Each structure stands twice: as C-alpha cells, then as structure tokens.
Amino acid sequence: MAHESSSFRTDVFIDWCPGCGNFGILMALQGALEELGLEPHQVVLVSGIGCSGKTPHFVNAYGVHTLHGRLLPYAIGIKLANPDLEVIAVGGDGDGLGIGAGHFLSAGRRNVDVTYLLHNNGVYGLTKGQASPTLRLGVRTKSLARVNINNALNPVATALISGYTFVARGYAFDFRHLKDLIKRGIGHRGMSLIEILQPCPTYNDITTKEWYGGEDRRDPETGRPRPRIYKLEEEGFDPEVRDPDEAMEKLLRALSKSYEWGDRIPIGVFYKNEQSTYEERIAERLPSYFERPPARQRLSDETGVPLVDLRSLLEEFRVF
Amino acid sequence: MAGGPQGSGVDTAAVIFSRACGYGGLHIYGKREYHSNIKGLHSYFHIRVSSREVLANSSSVDLLAAFDSETVVRHFHEVSPRGGLIVDERETQKNIFEIPTLPKEFKDDLKIKIEKLKLGETISDLLKYIEGRGGKVFIVPYMGLLRGIADKLGIDNLLRVMPTLNVLSIGISFSILRYDKGLVERAVRTTFSDRPRIAEMNLLALREAFDYAEKAFPEGLGTSLRVLRPSEERILIQGHQAIALGKIFGGCRVQTYYPITPAGDESWFLEAHEVFKIKGGEGSMLVLQAEDELAAINMANGAALAGARAATSTSGPGFSLMVEGLGWAGNSEVPVVITYYQRGGPSTGLPTRHGQDDLRFSVHAGHGEFARIVLASGDIRECFYDAAMAFNYAERYQVPVIHLVDKALADSYKTYEIFEAEGYRIQRGKILDEVKPGEEYKRFKIGDNAISPRVFLGTLGGVHWYTGDEHNEFGHITEHPRMRDSMVEKRMRKLELIDREIPLEEKINFYGERGAENIVVSWGSPKGAILEALKALNREGHSLGFLQVRMIHPLPWKEIREILRDRDKVIDVEMNYSGQLGGIIREKTGIPMSFFILKYNGRPMTSTEVQEALIEILKGRAPERRVLTYGS
C-alpha cells in the first residue's frame, strides 16, 4: 500500500470501482481517526452489507462486518456492553433505510453514543444498481429497466424526526469538510448521523460527481462549473440547540433545510442537541455501569466459582 | 384447580394457594392455562399437592374452585368421585349454552357430551352430575360474603371489594381441607407484601371465608391437608424464573428481548433483578428491550463480541426472525445464548399454549452449515442448571447455543429443595487478555483443534475483523477455495469436539432399570408425566426404562444407539405431530421407534394419559401412533 505511514490503513486490496465515492469517505474516516489521536484498538467499525459494508476491512481498527440492515443493533450491542469503545457504524442507504429502517428509527429513540455514516448513492450497487430508498421518483438510472415509481426517503429528515441528536450531511469528494464532520460526529455525545452524498460511477448516472459539481451548468461568462453543493456554515446556518426552548424551532428549520435539493444542495451540520445518552440513562438504573460495564464485570473467582450470591437470589422463593 | 375469567385473580389465587401449601412443608406442582387475551376469557390453574414430590398434573381434579359458570362447564367432568366443587350461588341457574365466552366449537362438543350423559342445560344439572358420582358441591353466597367485608371496612361500593373474590375461594378451599389458617394468612401477606392495604382487605376476606365455611360446611371435603415438617430447605419456583436465575448465576450480563409470550416473563424478571449481590459488592445485568427480534439477536451478538456473556430470549415467531443472526453467529463463531420457549405453531399458532414443535427447527435453522448446540431442559431444576451451563458451552466452543424449553416449563410452579450449584464453575474457554507487541493475532487461526483463542473488542494489539462472508484467519473476506475448505472444516469440526468433551451425564438422563425390556424416549417437559407413569407401571411389574435426551444437537447418537439396541419396544413421547426426536434418532442410529405417543392440542401431557397410553402399548393393544387429547 502507498500510505504505510497511516496507522489506520490495512493491506487489504480495496475492490471498489475506480472513481467510487467510497474512496473519499474512507480517506476522510481514516484522517478523522488519526487527527482525533485514537488508537486502532479503541475503535470498532461496524458495517452492514453492500459496497460500504467492506469499509472495516480497509481500516486498521476492530471491524465487524455484519448482516444487511443490522449494523445498528450490532453497534449498539457492542457500545452498551463496553461504553469505552469508540463505535462507528458505516452503512449504505438501502441498508439503513430499506431493510434496516426499523433499526434506523429506533436508534434515534435511544441516543446511544454511536456515530453513523450513511453512504447515499441512490442505488444498490453490489447487486447491480437497483433503486434504493433514496432514489427520487421518476428517475431512471442506467442500471434500471424502468423508471423508479417510489418516492424517496430523506435520510437527514428521517434522522431528525427519529431523535438523532447530531445530524449532518457531507460530500464524498469534499475530503476536508467530510473529515471535519466525522470528527465532530465522533466528538458528539449521543447518536450522530452523517449522510454522505456518494456518487456511484458504475450504476448511477444521474447524481454523478459532475452533477454535484455543476459541470452541466457552467457559467456562460467564465465557463466555470456552478456547483450544486454548498456549505451551511458558509451561509451562517446555526444548527446548535443551546437552550431547550429553541429545540423545536431549530429542529423544524433543519427539517425544512434538509428538503432543499436540485439547484442548491446543503451540506454541513443540520442539527445538534446534546441530551442524556442511553448509557447515562442506564447508569441511573445500574449505578456501577460505567466502572463495570457488562463486558468488564468479573464473573468468578480464580477457580471459576461464580461471584453471584445464589442464596440471596433464592431468598424470595423460599417457602420452607 | 381454580378457574375463572382472565383478570379475575386466578393467578394470584394459585400463587397464594401454592405458597400456603409450601409453608406447610407440602410439595406442589402447578401449571397455568390461559387464552391469548387480557380480560374475560377462561383461564385456570391446576395444582397438585402431596406429601411426596409431584412432577406433573393428572387428568382429574379433587377440588375445583369455580369463579364463574364457564369454569364449571369446562371442568365438571374432571372432578373426581371423592372430589368437590366450590361455586357461587348466583351461577347455579345459568344456562350453559348462554355463556357468551364459550366458542361455538366448544358448545358443539358440549351438546354431544351432555346428551350422552343425559344432563340438562343448567349449571345445577352439572352439579347434580358431580354429586351423582359421589362428589361434593359447596354452594357459596359470594355476594353476601363480599357485602359483609365491605360493611366491616365501611365501604359502600361493592366493586371495591370484588378483587377479594379469589381469596374468598381460597379461604373456603383451605377451610374444607382443614388446613392451617395461619399459613394461608402468611401466604396472603407475602403475596401482597408491597401493598399493605390490599393485604389487609384480603386477610379480612380470608378470615370471613374460613368462618363461613366452618359453619356452613362442617363436614368439609372429607379429605384433609396435613402440615409436614421436612428437613430440607425448599423453594417454590417457576421455569422462567429458574432460567433467569441460572443466567444471573452463570454470568450473563446482557440480555436482549422483544416482547413475546411465553418468553417475555423471563426478561421482565431479569429487569426487576438487574442489580444483584455478588461477593464483595454488586453485579448488574443490562436488559435491553429491542425494536424487534432481528435487533435482539444481533445486539446480543455484538455484546458477546465485546466480551459480555450475552443472551436473548424468545418464542417461535421471534426465533424465525432471529435465524439470520444465528447464522452470523455460527459463521463468526460468536458465543451467544438463545433461550427458546416453544409454544404451539406454526405462525402465531397458539400464542399462550404449549407445544414442542420446534426441535427440528432449532437443529436446522439457518442457511449453510455451521456448528451449534441445542440443549433441552426437562424440568425446572434443569432449566436453572442448563441456563448457566449454556454460557460455558457457548464460550468454550465459540458457538451459538439454543436452550430449548417450552411453555409448560415456563410458567409451571414446583417446589424444590433449594438450588445449590456447588459443582458449577464458570468456564470461559480460550481468551487472550492481551496480545504482546510484535505478535500477530489471528481471530480465526487454524490450529490443532477447531477453537482459536478469542480477543474481546478493544483489547490492545488484538485488532481483528468479523464478517458474515467467508473469511481468512484475520477475519477478512475470502473466496479462496482452500481457505474456504479450511474454514468450513474448522467450524464443523467443533461438533465432534463437543460430542467428545461434554460428559454423557450432561447430555442424557436414564431412569428405571438399565436392562428394561421397553424404553420410553422423550425430551423437554413431558419428563414429569413420564416419570410418574413409569413409577406406577414398574410398580405393577412392567419393565420400562426412560431415556431423556437433553443434548439434542450434537446428538449423542452412539450412546443412544447402545441404550435403544435390542429392546422389545421403543416408545417415543413428544408434544408434536411428527415425533421429531424419534425421527432424528432414527436418522442417526438407524433404530426406528416402535410406538409414538404424541400430543399437539396445546395442553401439556398429564401423567394419567401418558400412563394409560403406555399400558395399552405394553399390553399389545395399541396402534403405532397414539394422540393424547386431555385438556381444556
């Protein structure tokens, strides 16, 4: 590999198509992990099925490549068993909003401290480009036999109404901006969703790198492309809830902003609202949860005798 | 037996009755039957009490406490000739065909039954039938008694004292059984210990009932319950509670679940006991209610990778959804435990009733081939030990373990000598706490035996990968033919290792004489009824042994073959249509079952019906398949 200097790279051949948006996402993720000063053993990358699902194999950190749509249950199970781990979920749009949609919503209800990168390319790439839940109505990519007759789900809006406490959107080919978003998502205490617009050069000839970059609509005077993507922060958009009273107003503004599409497509942080995490709520019920989470409890003495006091457990059942 | 509409306190009555018997040193066995309904449909509790250990229900009832007319209609024929029925005076004139909660098909059967018995159509006609057979009927003016209680408490509204009806019936029952009132009072106090005012109201009801019955029924039932003083310490416990305790004791620290009957009670219990005492401090279990069973199994898988002993708990419809997670655990060698409470299937089937239809499903569920363990408990004590052992098996062999139980075990009650687990040791298998710098760690290292040391997620130096794809030793995806062969063989060879290492006494139980001419083969909850039948039949001079299979997969088929070889008759007893264990035994050993005693109406086998079916077989009068039908 060319980048041996990076501690988060592996020597596994990256088998994505040339020009795939996933390369940008992978670089941004590795860059974010390095800049945060994390060690490989502290990080667990959890993925689903599809092209994005292979991501953990390309990152030198603990990798759990799971089932289609189930990355969030795995991520949550791992994080809650050992809250010291930095758990990052990496999945596609079909994975998260199709087969795994129930988990996507429920993750918002819990607010576990997990960062979720949702690669959005509008198609099921690994199975040859069928329409994904984010492909817009009336669109026919070159991989489709017919025009798509489903409406699209909006990942940012769905995360907002589900209760995610950090919701952002990045672009696969804006490395610096995406890396920064991932760092902020990881830094956020609670459930973060970062939707990543990811061109699929093989199957999606509609939302291409050129289209996002506005190369189809060059300025007639300068001849320069007029990009569709713009950054929320450059327009002074303030996503952060600093006072519970402004939560609803900011949520609605973020929701409204998330539907902007076509000529102007916003990226950046839409919403951030720090609240109690699921782990903190657990700790209210299990007082020793953070010192001795499930994965780090001692179960027995040196000879294997369980530490649990069986007699005290049986006391309530005693009749004689 | 106590019966009434759901929501009328049948369960509470049963708990108080069982406790009171337990306090008196008596043994009890009891089971609940209920509809998939919250309020109104018929439910009942069938308890057997004895000075000796009781293992199952029988098909007759010595004392029936009916809270409503439907209970009389459903159970009058079960009241034994020396038995009795306690009934509300308001119910006696009711027409049995006007009971709205009786389903049409029940009424059709009932019509035929009463015509055959030449009975009229009112409850009092059924009471006459009981009396005609020598039974006693105790007609109680419950409304008058309730009014008396309300007056003493200064309450105008009779509805507020209505919930004591069940305790009134318990008072009447124990009074006509001449039982120690003090013990019943203690049972009432314990049952309502967190609600002192309710406890007082019920204690008053109890005393009113005793006073009334002593005057109204001076002769009593004729049978009395005598208090004993056993030398052992005893508990009264249900199957789902025993499993929950086994999990806490065995080190399970993450339990995930999605609500389903009858598995849900276990998780509720665990949540109520999530913080517990350990030597030198406090332990805790994280109980997670997932959004569905897909999440439940996969959260548990994740927690197991992080290093927690993790389990999930479900019933048939939930397990159907869990199958993909089971396969992932098989492929990634995840030590996860699935507690599987069977109920009658397929699909939603009989949500609150019993069945053993899922043995083959547990053994075969999932695409592809991978090692798993299927362990079936036959009684509540085994539920406790097996629940703890399941984690040892899972971690030692790095395989998913399905602990197969059923509805009859889940919510039946039984008295036991207090559980001790002197011999139980937590065995976590091969685990590396650290990987030294410069050493290369391979999670799926191919070595001499099929088990490669585990490293928990987060361990310094141990970075590795998991995938549902075929993988190489590091856990990275591979489609290389030789590596594929090696990994398939690594996973499948575990079955031989399990078969070789786990001692036989953890895999099968044998009861009766080793050299018996005839052998009964079974698994799971029919065990109690079979043991009672066996005892009675061997006393009559029959030669009968009983092989209980606990390790369903990998099946200890060589040992089973030795036991079944050259017997006169091999009789398979199971709660399903096709004799699933019998089929698997035949597949593995080549030995066919000579007879099947099967049942699939959703109600557990009673010792009476098992005994009757066995007698017919032993006398050479039985067909190859006999289907049991007892139950309401």
Chain A residues touching B255 at Cβ < 8 A: none
CB contact under 8 A, B254 and A81: yes
Residue B289: predicted pLDDT: 98
Nearest to A304 among B279, B310, B426 (CB): B426
A236–B contact, CB cutoff 8 A: no
pLDDT above 70: percentage of residues in chain A: 98
Q: Do residues B365 and B297 lie in contact, with contact meaning Cβ atoms separated by under 8 Å?
A: no
Q: What is the pLDDT of residue A2?
A: 34
User: How high does pLDDT run on average in chain B?
Assistant: 97
Predicted confidence (pLDDT) at residue B93 exceeds the cutoff of 50: yes
Q: Mean pLDDT over all residues of chain A?
A: 96
- The whole-number pLDDT of residue B449 equals 86
Residue B25 has pLDDT above 70, yes or no: yes
Residues of B in contact with A64 (CB under 8 A): 302, 305, 457, 465-466
The shortest C-alpha distance from B562 to chain A (Å) reads: 34
pLDDT at residue B394, as a whole number: 98
Tens digits of per-residue pLDDT, B129-143? 999 999 999 999 999
Task: Assess whether pLDDT exceeds 60 at residue A129.
Answer: yes
pLDDT tens sequence across B434-476? 999 889 999 999 998 899 999 999 999 999 999 999 999 999 9
Q: Which residues of B touch A55 (CB under 8 A)?
A: none
Structure tokens at B559: 């040992």
Mutate to test the interface with A, among B286, B443, B454 (most CBs of A within 10 A): B286
The tens digit of pLDDT for each residue in B467-514 reads: 999 999 999 999 999 999 999 999 999 999 999 999 999 999 999 999
> For residue A9, how far is the Cα from the chain centroid?
20
Task: Determine contact: A2 vs chain B, CB below 8 A.
Answer: no
Cβ pair B427:A305 closer than 8 A: no
Which of B281, B463, B466 lies nearest to residue A61, judging by beta carbons? Answer: B463
Name which of A49, A76, A84 is nearest B458 (Cβ-Cβ). Answer: A84
Give the minimum alpha-carbon distance from A233 to chain B in angstroms, rounded to a whole number. 35
Exposure b/e, B46-78, CB count within 10 A at least 16 = b:
bbbbeeeebbbbbbebbbbbbbbbbbbbbbbeb
Contact state of B236 with A317 under an 8 Å Cβ cutoff: yes
A44: which chain B residues are within 8 Å (Cβ-Cβ)?
457-458
B422: pLDDT confidence band, cut at 50, 70 and 90?
confident
Nearest to B283 among A42, A62, A297 (CB): A297
What interface predicted TM-score (ipTM) does this complex get? 0.97
3-state helix, strand, coil in chain B (%, to 5): 40, 20, 35
* Whether residue A244 has pLDDT greater than 90: yes
Q: Do B460 and A41 touch (CB under 8 A)?
A: yes
Confidence label for A5 from pLDDT (cuts 50, 70 and 90): very low
Region A21-281: CATH code: 3.40.50.970
Chain segment B336-376, per-residue pLDDT in tens: 999 999 999 999 999 999 999 999 999 999 999 999 999 99
Question: Is A288 close to B278, i.e. CB distance below 8 A?
Answer: no
A224-233: average pLDDT: 98
CB B378 within 8 A of CB B509: yes
Q: In order of start, what are the domains of chain B with their CATH numbers?
A: 2-216 (3.40.920.10), 237-417 (3.40.50.970), 430-502 (no CATH), 508-627 (3.40.50.920)
Domain residue ranges of chain A, discontinuous segments joined by +: 21-281
Task: Tell me if chain B has a CB within 8 Å of the CB of A56.
Answer: yes
Residues 7-46 of A with CB under 8 A from B: 10, 12, 39-42, 44, 46
Pairing of strands A123-124, A130-131: antiparallel
At B632, is the pLDDT very low, low, confident or very high (cuts 50, 70, 90)? Answer: confident
pLDDT for B553 beyond 90: yes
Q: What is the mean pLDDT of residues A72-79?
A: 98
Query: Stretch B577-594: mean pLDDT, rounded?
Result: 98
**Binary contact (A57, B427; C-beta < 8 A):** no
Q: Is B302 close to A78, i.e. CB distance below 8 A? A: yes
Token pair 């099947």 in the structure block, residue: B596
Question: Is residue A8 helix, strand or coil?
Answer: coil
Beta-carbon separation of A82 and B22 below 8 A: no
* Closest Cβ opposite residue B302 in set A41, A49, A75: A75
Q: State whether A319 and B415 contact (CB < 8 Å).
A: yes
Residue A3: exposure state from Cβ atoms within 10 A (0-12, 13-18, ≥19) = exposed
Segment B420-434 shows an average pLDDT of 95
CB contact under 8 A, B325 and A312: no
Please indicate if any CB of chain B lies within 8 Å of the CB of A320: yes
Q: What is the pLDDT of residue A1?
A: 33
* pLDDT at residue number A4: 34
Q: How far apart are CA B377 and CA B253, in angstroms?
A: 22
Nearest CB partner across the interface for B23, out of A85, A299, A320: A320
Chain B interface disruption, residue of A282, A289, A320, most B CBs within 10 A: A320
* B230-261 residue pLDDT tens: 999 999 999 999 999 999 999 999 999 999 99
What percent of chain B clears pLDDT 90, i.e. is strictly above it? Answer: 98
Nearest-neighbour CA in chain B from A230: distance (Å)? 36
H or E segment to which residue B277 belongs: strand B275-278
CA distance A214 to A204: 16
Task: Report CB contact under 8 Å: A80, B288.
Answer: yes
Q: What is the pLDDT of residue B242?
A: 98
**pLDDT tens-place string over residues B173-229:** 999 999 999 999 999 999 999 999 999 999 999 999 999 999 999 999 999 999 999
Which residue from B291, B299, B425 is facing A304, i.e. has the nearest CB? B425
Mean local confidence (pLDDT), B256-278 = 98
CB A191 within 8 A of CB A165: yes
Can you name the residues that pair with B49 across neighbouring β-strands? B28
* Minimal C-alpha gap between A126 and chain B (Å): 14
List of residues 6+ apart from A106 with CB closer than 8 A: A72, A162, B290, B291, B295
